[in-house]
Amino acid sequence: MLDPAEAELIQGDEDPATRSEIAHTTAGALVHGGREGADDPDLVQRLVQLVDTEGLDEIAALWSRSPHTTLPGTLWRLYLLREWVRRDPDTVASRYRLGLQRAEVSGAVAGVADPPGPQEVKDLVDKVLSGLFDGDLAVALERAAAFLRVLATGSALHADWIQEDDDDLAFRVTRRAGALLTTAEELEEAAELYRAEKLD
């Protein structure tokens, strides 16, 4: 048994309500600051400095426990996509090209004939996560979702080269494709919620 003095020294997890409030506040500041802050360059600069000084990794960690139906949960998914594109651009580009050969993407995704490529998605997500995005967030989410659908197709096709159906690698590659598709669906749902002003 610990004595009371020792028990006091053990640090617990941060308060979930406080963590959630901070996650929502930072997510709202980044998204709304970019759109509404165009007339307030000081606000935009403070948001950029917040990301620079605290680090996007630290801020994004606050969003990681938020559901996909919330603004911080949506930004967490964009952050993960950005990190994958940044850290493994060759794999992403390869899977994207493979997916484009077979992906059935709607004729017009967010106003364009083709889904965005890896660099366009990275640039778009960078703007959203830095507080500099001034476009329609719902359109950005739909574009990211279209990109993920192409990647999911490419990842599933990439699994075809594995000969054995019970190969552990085949399972992991196929499961990853499923996760990409799930994330695409979550971003599409978030876009709908945003349009309905219900993505808080």
Q: Is residue 7 part of a domain?
A: no
Q: Is residue 157 part of a domain?
A: yes
Q: Is residue 4 part of a domain?
A: no
Distance CA 11, CA 7 (A): 9
Residue 182 has pLDDT above 50, yes or no: yes
Q: Is residue 3 part of a domain?
A: no
Q: How many other C-beta atoms lie within 10 A of the C-beta of residue 70?
A: 20
Evaluate whether 133 touches 190 at the Cβ level (below 8 Å). Answer: no
The total number of structural domains in the chain stands at 1
Evaluate whether 43 touches 37 at the Cβ level (below 8 Å). Answer: yes
Domain of 126, in residue numbers: 15-195
Q: Where are the alpha helices (DSSP H) in the chain?
A: 4-9, 16-36, 41-54, 56-63, 71-87, 89-100, 118-130, 137-158, 168-195
List, for residues 113-172, the tens digit of each pLDDT value: 466 788 888 888 888 877 767 888 998 999 899 888 888 888 887 655 555 555 565 555
List, for residues 57-90, the tens digit of each pLDDT value: 877 888 898 999 999 999 999 989 988 888 888 8
Q: Is residue 8 part of a domain?
A: no
Residue 2 has pLDDT above 60, yes or no: no
Tokens of 13: 């997890």
List, for residues 94-130, the tens digit of each pLDDT value: 888 888 887 655 433 444 446 678 888 888 888 887 7
